[in-house]
Amino acid sequence: MSHLNKIAKPIGVYYRDDQIVKMDNVLYKYIAKMVYDDEEIEPQKTYLISIPLTTDTFVYDGTVKTPTWIGFDSGIMAASGDTSATNAGEYTVTFTFIDNRYSWLDGTNTPKQVTWSIAKADNAITLSANAVTVQAGSGAMPPVAVTATVLDGTVDVDTKTTQFFNITVSGNAISVEGIYYDPEHADHIVNVIVPATSNYNAVSTELTIHIEPAKTYLSHFEVPQFATSFGINTLT
């Protein structure tokens, strides 16, 4: 002889002879009566509960994130651990039954850990100039400055020194200086990079460097040879 005992909230399965089958979307379990001193005793009911889960997806934006847990009931279990967080990362919540009348669907009643996460946000980078022109030759003209604006982190470049140009980076300030002019290699592209930070993904953008030949300027004290040849005087 057996008795059909209702076990828990509707979750779509019931137990009979340790077999899981569907029955009216309600969890049931067949429990045989025990005989003790010639008296039939109904065993204590065991409530079988699904482990809570969350379907929330979060992306870092500087605000506190608190997932909603499907199947969580504060009347029968407690949640501890990383129940809320702000920064990007993976977090763990522990669910613990408040007494031994409850068991998980796997038959255990020990605390269960469930993870949830906050994804990194996309970073953004803006340059004060996406293309610069410099003259070849050290000291031919002052280095050209480019300022990078980013949401988080500091910039770097994938190429700092070549035979054609030299780049220095300090914080988010980029300085470009021309070294050598080659008409077949007048334009160069470097990637300005912001590495990933704790809350933002890596990001990059292109900076075009155009190199011109060094220009020669006459001092106002210098007199061209052709001028003196024709008796042309210059003002001093």
Which of 84, 100, 119 is where one domain is finished?
119
96 shares a domain with 73: yes
129 shares a domain with 207: yes
* Domain count for the chain: 3
104 shares a domain with 27: no
47 and 11 in contact (C-beta within 8 Å)?
no
Helix, strand, or coil (residue 103): strand
Flag whether 226 is in a domain. Answer: no
What is the arithmetic mean of pLDDT over 5-29?
40
**For the chain, what is the mean pLDDT?**
80
Flag whether 137 is in a domain. Answer: yes
Flag whether 225 is in a domain. Answer: no
Grade residue 32 by pLDDT with cuts at 50, 70 and 90.
Answer: very low
Through-space distance between the first and last CA atoms of the chain, rounded to whole angstroms = 125
**Domain of residue 24, residue span:** 1-45
72 shares a domain with 36: no
136 shares a domain with 206: yes
Q: What is the CATH number of the domain that holds 163?
A: 2.60.40.60
Q: What global pTM score does this model have?
A: 0.70
What would the pLDDT profile of 157-207 be if each residue is shown by its tens digit?
999 989 999 999 999 999 999 999 888 888 999 999 999 999 999 999 999
206 shares a domain with 145: yes
Distance of alpha carbon 46 from the chain centroid: 43
Distance of alpha carbon 60 from the chain centroid: 7
